[in-house]
Amino acid sequence: MNIIDIIVKKKNKEELTEEEIKYVINSYVEGSIKDYQMSSLLMAITINDMSNDEIKYMTKYMLESGNRLDLKDVVDKHSTGGVGDKTTLIVAPIVASCGVRVAKMSGRGLGHTGGTIDKLESIPNINLNLTKEEFIKEVDDINMAITSQTDNLVIADKKIYALRDVTGTVESIPLIASSIMSKKIASGAKKLVLDVKVGNGALIKNIEDARRLANIMVSLGKENNIDVICMLTNMDIPLGSNIGNTLEIEEVLDILTNKKDNNLRHLCIEISSYMVSLGLSITYEEAKKLVISKLNDLSAYNKFLEFIKYQHGDITKLTKKARVYNIKSNVEGYITKIDAYKVGRLSMLLGGGRENKEDVIDYSAGIILNKNINDYVNKGDILFTIYTNKDISNIDLNILNITKDKIDEQSLIYEIIK
């Protein structure tokens, strides 16, 4: 068995066997399959897809490439990635303050979408490389913990994840499903809420593909005795107003201190309600009341501060050190489109993300959107503010449309799949 034959087989749209997938995963982890060979196979998978059996085997052997945790009574969540998506940093403290244990292994950004670990690393001194023992102890002590993927947990996914980010293979449904579910199964949680983003700012562009991904992950969950709820949510517009790592931490603080009431807050309440419902075995309606109360009385905010302090971060030293540019409107009318993909791409070009595997992120870089869909703007109004240490003279800043009429309200949540 050799990697060239397997690449050619998938290139020719043939189904890989369990043994072939096992060979690929194990050999890549061991180093006998090189990055350039794995990149070729990932592209063939992205173009030609995988069957449900192939996805199941991919998940199985990625899972077996590392150790597993046994976290009892834990509820986990995951988002498939979107522009401005900092839900984990809001949802985890809300749910933990409701008395539900949350253990979250998070990743870095993929393509134009941001990553939870990148955002948290903008907080000085924070420790995001917890050992297994530290991870479990923190959950026991304060009901929540967030860590990057440890070296000995789902090793294959950690290597493949970094490769996908820089090889144009982030949007493959089989690769998304096997990556997410191998990590979730390894983390030991038996209850899981998945936020599947749909739209031009997400990895998944249409509702049909989102349904397929959701159903695959629900099926993988059932096979591993995990209760999974999938939410299909709108990512045609950015989530919240702040895009970029330090900027997004600032918006997290705004939401947790009740200074903002926007689509980000509304979605976090919904995700938290489903997680608390699963965790406490209460109705969604009862859970939602509890969630809102913990937001309103600042219990969730205090839990976030407790989490940051526990992992040695210093939230008081959250500073921006970038040049500031205010982008003003030269026309009047209503904002009818904020292109989430273009916003995410712009943030990356400003320094807030990675184009190459070796790129170093500028945590201060990003964008604040000062207007929202259906807001009226006059000439000279500030549409958005850019923070960057780069030259913006050759960067396309056309990220929104202004027309004379409003548009219909857009749904935030499309479907719930269980």
Taking phi over 0 as left and psi of -120 to 50 as alpha, with beta for the rest, 75 belongs to beta
Separation of alpha carbons 144 and 155, rounded Å: 23
156-205 residue pLDDT tens: 998 998 888 788 898 899 999 999 999 889 888 889 999 999 998 888 99
Separation of alpha carbons 80 and 73, rounded Å: 23
CATH 3.40.50.12780 fits 75-316, yes or no: no
Separation of alpha carbons 230 and 211, rounded Å: 9
Separation of alpha carbons 97 and 88, rounded Å: 14
Report domain 321-403's class.
Answer: alpha beta
CA gyration radius, the chain: 21
Quote the pLDDT of residue 84. 86
Q: Where in the chain are the domains?
A: 3-48, 75-316, 321-403
- Mean pLDDT for all residues in the chain: 92
Separation of alpha carbons 189 and 166, rounded Å: 30
The number of residues making up the chain comes to 418
Question: Which residue is it, tokens 């689509």?
Answer: 263
AA identity, residue 96: A
Sequential pLDDT tens for the chain (418 residues): 999 999 999 999 999 999 999 999 999 999 999 999 999 999 999 999 999 999 999 999 999 998 888 777 899 998 887 888 899 999 999 999 999 999 888 766 655 566 889 899 999 999 999 988 899 999 999 999 999 866 687 899 989 988 887 888 988 999 999 999 998 898 888 899 999 999 988 889 999 999 999 999 999 999 999 999 999 999 988 899 999 999 999 999 999 999 999 999 999 999 999 999 999 999 999 999 999 999 999 999 999 999 999 999 999 998 778 899 999 999 999 999 999 999 999 999 998 887 666 678 899 999 999 999 999 999 999 999 999 999 998 898 999 999 999 999 889 999 999 9
Asked if residues 263 and 219 have their Cβ atoms less than 8 Å apart, the reply is no
Active site residues: 78, 157, 164, 179, 183
Separation of alpha carbons 124 and 116, rounded Å: 15
DSSP letter string, 209-273: HHHHHHHHHHHHHHHTT-EEEEEEEE-SS-SSSEESHHHHHHHHHHHHTT---SHHHHHHHHHHH
Question: What count of other Cβ atoms lies within 10 Å of the Cβ of residue 297?
Answer: 12
Quote the pLDDT of residue 220. 96
DSSP 330: S
Question: Which residue is it, tokens 């490439």?
Answer: 65
Separation of alpha carbons 92 and 102, rounded Å: 6
DSSP run (H or E) holding 43: helix 35-48
> Which of 379, 407, 386 is closest to 242 using CA atoms?
386
Quote the pLDDT of residue 401. 95
Report the predicted TM-score, pTM, of the whole model to 2 decimal places.
Answer: 0.89
The sign of the dihedral angle between the CA atoms of 348, 181, 279, 275 is positive
* 21, 69, 108, 129, 181 from 63: Cα distances, Å: 12, 11, 19, 20, 9
29-52 residue pLDDT tens: 999 999 999 999 999 999 999 999
DSSP letter string, 154-222: SHHHHHHHHHHHTTT-TT-HHHHHHHHHHHHHHHT-SEEEEEEEESTTSSB-SHHHHHHHHHHHHHHHH
Asked if residues 196 and 413 have their Cβ atoms less than 8 Å apart, the reply is no
Give the rounded distance of the alpha carbon of 32 from its chain centre: 31
List % helix, strand, coil for the chain (3-state, nearest 5): 45, 20, 35
Angle of helix 35-48 relative to helix 155-165, nearest 10 degrees?
Answer: 80
The sign of the dihedral angle between the CA atoms of 13, 18, 23, 25 is positive
What's domain 3-48's architecture?
Up-down Bundle (1.20)
141-152 residue pLDDT tens: 999 999 986 668
What tokens were used for 373? 């869909």
What tokens were used for 229? 């709820």
Taking phi over 0 as left and psi of -120 to 50 as alpha, with beta for the rest, 380 belongs to left
